[in-house]
Structure 1
Amino acid sequence: MGRLIMIRNILILIAFLIKLHGVAQIPVSQLERNNLVFPKEQIKVTINANLLLAGEMLQYKGYVLTSENKPSNLSKILYVSLRNNQDSIVFTHKLKVEKGNANGDFFIPASLETGVYKLIAYTNLSRNNIDNPFDEKQLYIINTFIENKNTAKDGTLISIDFSEKDEANNPKTTRNSQNIKVGLDKEVYGKRDKVRLTLTALDSLAAGNYSISVRKVAPIKIKNEQSKIATSNTNSRFYLPELRGELISGVVTSIQDNKPVANQVVALSVPGENFLFKTSKTNGNGQFFIAIDSPIEVNKALIQVFANDQAKNTFKIALDTKKLKLKPNNSYKLTIDSQLKDWLQQRSTYLQIENAYFEVKKDSVLTSPTEPIFFGSLGVEYKLDDFTRFSTIKETFTEVISLAAIRGKGAAAKFIVYNPYDPNGIANFNDVDPLVIINGVLIQNNTDLLNYNAHDIESIRVVNNPYRYGSKIYSGIIAVKTNDKNFVSKLNNHSLTEISIDKWVERKKYYNPDYTDKNFDRIPDYRVQLLWQPNVVLKTQHSETFFTSDIEGNYEIVIHGFTDTGKLINDTFKISVK
């Protein structure tokens, strides 16, 4: 019964979103804040280590959960950023969420100063939470190449000390679950030894999604960790979930009186080999949204209002922001125990050797499916190298492009398509202009294409039947593909606005050497992170195989995640390498 109520509430939510035309953020005053209609979404994040050196890899996993710690089926985009004490952003990642999970990584550069940082994770929907709009992990970064500048006289004293205690050098096995059995073939391994790790669900309550981290224990102890960052979110707006992908949203207003403009079509183009072209009509408040539901090839996009020459320069577009602004933390003084000097020097040397073999040890990028171009293989594609080349676009259309033509001259010139089933041009929509695009960019001024260098064009595809896309109907489509990546700079369209769109973080298969292959024998191995497997789906049993490195010591195996019923699992085991 409870599941039926939840499904009903989600359907109500979706219907409400459709009614609002998918606006990404709206004033709270326009909503009745009903938690049954708008389910709460919370974020949890885990990392491979809370202390890293410049040259190491930060690896993280985010969980997008309901209030019951079950995977949320609402948000499909997770935002992750690393920030310093003053809320300056080191990086921002955008990740595609699949079944409530997402993961990524970040290489700590040699330019990043020693200090205390925060890894922040949130979704557009979780920003509505007053108490916990995001989750965070505190991260300590030591850069042995740059002098530590966090030595202010005032502020909280945070110290990174050398630890000689048994619990630091000999981690104890801890667990909060009796539902998962961890199997190891032994507890003590040699260098470059094979480790077989098995997770077994002892009952159905253990089924869930987990991460596995195997990392050498560092001889450190951190004192006076900072408190949680405060958010400056006043909750004056309500942020809707990104149900299919990232929402690009904003408001179209009139330049003359700054009032919202309704019923105007906004076009978004992300140029590329597999370009993205989307349109949306503004609602009564001038608001629009466009969902990007597949990976994009570049981090630049073009946005414009679809209007005639006289009107298109009378509008302006203001985009909504996705940035979560936080209040700076109190100042701090960071000290590093001098007894850590030898350990830091050795670890830094090992890192430089490891990074020198990057090409041999690099991770594999997993391909993600791209959204097919909206018109697919419709129409006829003219590859211009298969024909005699002409110097102008007009000659090319006259001599090569048999399904389309140019009528008129100068500013009055227009493109038309020929419908073979309507030779007399009396059918519906024949008097409507075709959709003309170059590499996915909407062309509203025909002279932009007419004046383009024909030798820079690779192909022209013509769809010569009426085509409806979004809220508009066209007599057909003329899609031009160029060889010139800088074609946008040659367009004479002043109504085009360039915006930045971060690409999704690529999914990876992390490097895991196989020492049964003798080709690795002469390659040094100074890894302290032996395994990072961020997406373990456990039903009954799951197995992992990995190899130890050339570094002796104690290693922690951390199993972290949530069961399908919402229980947190955070178990720690140990192995030794001698």
Structure 2
Amino acid sequence: MSSQTMDWNLYKETMALQVNAKTLITGEKLRYSLYCLQQNNQTSKLSKVAYVKCIDTYGKEIFIHKHYLENGTASGYFFIPTELKTGTYYLLTYTQWMLSASPLNFTSNELLIINPYQENQNEKIRFDTSTVPSSTSPEIELKNYSKREAITFSDFIAHEKGNFTISVRKTNAINVPFGSLFSLPNPTSNNNLLTFLPEAKGELISGKIQRLDSLLPLENIGIALLDKGNKDFIQVTSTNNKGHFHFILARPLHSSRPFLEIISENENYTLELDSKLQPEILAIKQTPTIYLETNYTKEIEKRAIASQIENAYYEIKKDSTQQPEMIPSINPNYLEVFPVEKYNRFSSLKQFITEVLNQVYYTEKNDQFKIHFRNTGVQLELNENPLTLVDGSVIINPNDLLKIEYSKIKSIAINIQPYYLGNKLYSGIFIIHTTDGSFEDSSTKKWNTEYIVPLYKQQAYAPDYNTTSLDRIPDYRTQLLWQQTTTLNQPFSFYTSDVEGIYEISIYGYTNEGQFVEKNSFFKVE
């Protein structure tokens, strides 16, 4: 991953982190927003990928999320499972560039998660009769709204542009002094020149190959990255003189188990991937005993029942997910596609090539099957094999094509023009897709790797009570709105739910000039 040095103090980067609540019940959703910033709190243009990790008080990882940033920001959520014990948890956010300056360079937010279904509550949580404020609600006259009423809010209209998150949520009756919903960045300094590249154009995946034969070269060896979730994706890079390589993923992969292939006829290599930088968790401070008022038990019970009802209608109320488009690495307009089912009188790949693919022929010499193209428009005689792919796998030995069960071939696509991929020139392209996409080339070495699929962009569920289809569906939402926006010059709308109480409308974020914005207002539902 290292090919140049950069001065951290010239490209300092921080993260700010916003959550929807500091105290949550299992069965509820933790929602959060990220803001990647420069020193002046303006949007950072450097990193395109950010990470969110949740740990418990022992440093055990609960989850890790990856986000491709849009204009330096992202939003995500985590459904809190009933397996989590009551206790304090920490939400950490960072970029790889931040950790390259210092493994302690991350932003954290402290949370309290309460599991009402747990028989033996965490010893650090105690119920007590001592007097503490039981509500964060303001002591002012509030505007009242009815259940399931449409609200259009315009009090926060301004000409500010930037990255902001709008939240409308019932005020937390469980009042634990856990700080603000918004964790401001804590920039650190670093006097050393850094040799790690920032993920400026997309996620970096790096590693090295090692030779099992001392005479083998390490330089200029092709490495292919293949995505099992997108059979038409292939990215190729080559090694330097020390055997190191790296990929830059401008777009995320679709599979959590992608694999790599060494594009070489010599199999006497092994491959090893570099580990991602991780935040260094030093001694997590021991959280003092948290005293909850006795009357909190009723509030916890109410919220637990509400979350159960909401989750029972998950299929109706689930968030909408924007699935990223599966963009093929090879432009389909460059390919001539032949659906095999249209030519059902043939029974073998060889017959199909001979009778249908007029610009393709094959030879068999010394038990070596080889495909050739009739490149009539090319002056240079090309002896290289075509780039050959089957269900996304690179075929190095053309004999492996004969292992494919012909009845399972769905289509064959070709391009007879010379084609560059990575550092290699091929005589053309020859692609086979099977009906079930399950072809495995057992003769080629592959290295599977674990990959965190980034969280897809989502829009939180919002009911529309102008229709009658929801009349019989209960509405126990306590989070009425969670929405990211780049401008505050428009009013926003939402519906109240069936849950009575005091709600807070809040906006957090940063303007394009780096000014921190914090606004809030309250209303009541009866």
Decide: shared fold, TM above 0.5.
yes
Q: Which residue of 2 aligns with 1:358?
A: 314
In 2, Cα distance between equivalents of 1:378 and 1:322: 39
In 2, Cα distance between equivalents of 1:243 and 1:370: 22
- 2:49 partner letter: I
Q: Which residue of 2 aligns with 1:291?
A: 248
Tell me by how many angstroms 1:576 deviates. Answer: 1.1
Q: Which has the higher helix share?
A: 1
In 1, Cα distance between equivalents of 2:524 and 2:100: 45
In 1, Cα distance between equivalents of 2:407 and 2:485: 51
Contact 2:391–2:437 under 8 Å retained in 1? no
In 2, Cα distance between equivalents of 1:277 and 1:398: 28
The within-5 A match list for 1:157-556 is 168-171=135-138, 187-198=143-154, 200=156, 202=158, 206-222=160-176, 238-256=195-213, 261-273=218-230, 275-308=232-265, 311-327=266-282, 329-332=284-287, 337=292, 338-388=294-344, 390-408=346-364, 412-421=368-377, 427-488=379-440, 491-533=441-483, 535-538=484-487, 541-556=489-504
Tell me by how many angstroms 1:246 deviates. Answer: 1.1
Instruction: Name whichever of 236-245 and 140-149 sits farther off.
Output: 236-245
Instruction: Name whichever of 439-448 and 329-338 sits farther off.
Output: 329-338
Tell me by how many angstroms 1:483 deviates. Answer: 2.0
Contact 2:235–2:329 under 8 Å retained in 1? no
In 1, Cα distance between equivalents of 2:411 and 2:107: 48
Tell me by how many angstroms 1:268 deviates. Answer: 0.7
Gaps of 5+ in 2: none
Secondary structure at the residue paired with 1:243?
coil
How well do the aligned residues superpose, as a CA RMSD in angstroms? 3.1
Q: 1:335 to 1:277 in 2, by over 3 A?
A: same
- 2:76 partner letter: G
In 2, Cα distance between equivalents of 1:108 and 1:519: 29
The within-5 A match list for 1:18-167 is 23=1, 25=2, 31=5, 33=7, 35-36=9-10, 39-130=11-102, 133-148=105-120, 150-151=122-123
Tell me by how many angstroms 1:333 deviates. Answer: 6.7
- 1:565 partner letter: E
Q: 1:562 to 1:410 in 2, by over 3 A?
A: farther
- 1:414 partner letter: K
In 2, Cα distance between equivalents of 1:494 and 1:328: 46
Tell me by how many angstroms 1:505 deviates. Answer: 1.0
Q: Which residue of 1 aligns with 2:514?
A: 566
In 2, Cα distance between equivalents of 1:497 and 1:481: 22
Describe the superposition over 1:247-300 as per-residue Cα deviations: whole angstroms up to 9, x where unpaired: 111122223569992221111111345532001111233221112222433222
Tell me by how many angstroms 1:209 deviates. Answer: 1.5
Describe the superposition over 1:466-489 as per-residue Cα deviations: whole angstroms up to 9, x where unpaired: 11122211100111112224323x
Describe the superposition over 1:329-352 as per-residue Cα deviations: whole angstroms up to 9, x where unpaired: 245575563432222122111111
- 1:531 partner letter: L
In 2, Cα distance between equivalents of 1:224 and 1:467: 59
In 1, Cα distance between equivalents of 2:368 and 2:27: 60
* TM-score normalised by the chain length of structure 1: 0.82
Instruction: Name whichever of 397-406 and 523-532 sits farther off.
Output: 397-406
- 1:216 partner letter: K
In 1, Cα distance between equivalents of 2:390 and 2:49: 29
Tell me by how many angstroms 1:235 deviates. Answer: 8.6
Q: 1:372 to 1:492 in 2, by over 3 A?
A: closer
Contact 1:42–1:132 under 8 Å retained in 2? no
Contact 1:393–1:451 under 8 Å retained in 2? no
Contact 2:19–2:31 under 8 Å retained in 1? yes
Tell whether 2:505 aligns with 1:557: yes
Contact 2:237–2:423 under 8 Å retained in 1? yes
In 1, Cα distance between equivalents of 2:54 and 2:360: 52
In 2, Cα distance between equivalents of 1:159 and 1:40: 42
In 2, Cα distance between equivalents of 1:503 and 1:515: 35
* TM-score normalised by the chain length of structure 2: 0.90
Secondary structure at the residue paired with 1:139?
strand
- 1:347 partner letter: R
In 2, Cα distance between equivalents of 1:463 and 1:207: 48
Tell me by how many angstroms 1:411 deviates. Answer: 5.2
Q: 1:34 to 1:373 in 2, by over 3 A?
A: closer
Contact 2:104–2:280 under 8 Å retained in 1? no
Percent sequence identity is 31
Q: 1:278 to 1:376 in 2, by over 3 A?
A: same
Q: 1:168 to 1:340 in 2, by over 3 A?
A: closer
Instruction: Name whichever of 505-514 and 313-322 sits farther off.
Output: 313-322
* Aligned residue pair count: 519
Gaps of 5+ in 1: 1-22, 152-156, 174-185
In 2, Cα distance between equivalents of 1:334 and 1:437: 60
Q: 1:199 to 1:302 in 2, by over 3 A?
A: farther
- 1:454 partner letter: Y
In 1, Cα distance between equivalents of 2:63 and 2:481: 24
Q: 1:49 to 1:411 in 2, by over 3 A?
A: farther
- 2:259 partner letter: L
Q: 1:93 to 1:391 in 2, by over 3 A?
A: farther
In 1, Cα distance between equivalents of 2:340 and 2:88: 57
